[in-house]
Amino acid sequence: MPLMTEKLECIVCGRRFPRGQGVTLVIGEKEYAFHSKRCALKFLRRVLEEFDEGILTKAFNNVAKEFAEELEEVRERKAKKIV
């Protein structure tokens, strides 16, 4: 007997999809389900428009700095060591 998988509904376009596919975000106690990364990005763009520009700029700068540091560490590990 086949197992029934839970179906989620994309909050952007309404498409139904099985749990385990698509993108889900859990913020606080609420789960937001998107059938594709395109719908998730569309939603997140609109969420970002709701934030104060100063707070958003600071957050983006902090995260960009973290990624730059991680990338530099990876490059240093991959670099040939001359002894």
Give the model confidence (pLDDT) of 16-61 as tens digits.
999 999 999 999 999 999 999 999 999 999 999 999 999 999 999 9
> The whole model's pTM is what?
0.75
Report, as an integer, the average pLDDT of 68-76.
93
Q: Where are the alpha helices (DSSP H) in the chain?
A: 37-49, 53-78
Which pLDDT value is given to residue 78? 86
| 20, 24, 56, 64, 71 from 59: Cα distances, Å | 29, 22, 5, 9, 18
Query: Does the pLDDT of residue 77 top 90, yes or no?
Result: no
Which pLDDT value is given to residue 82? 67
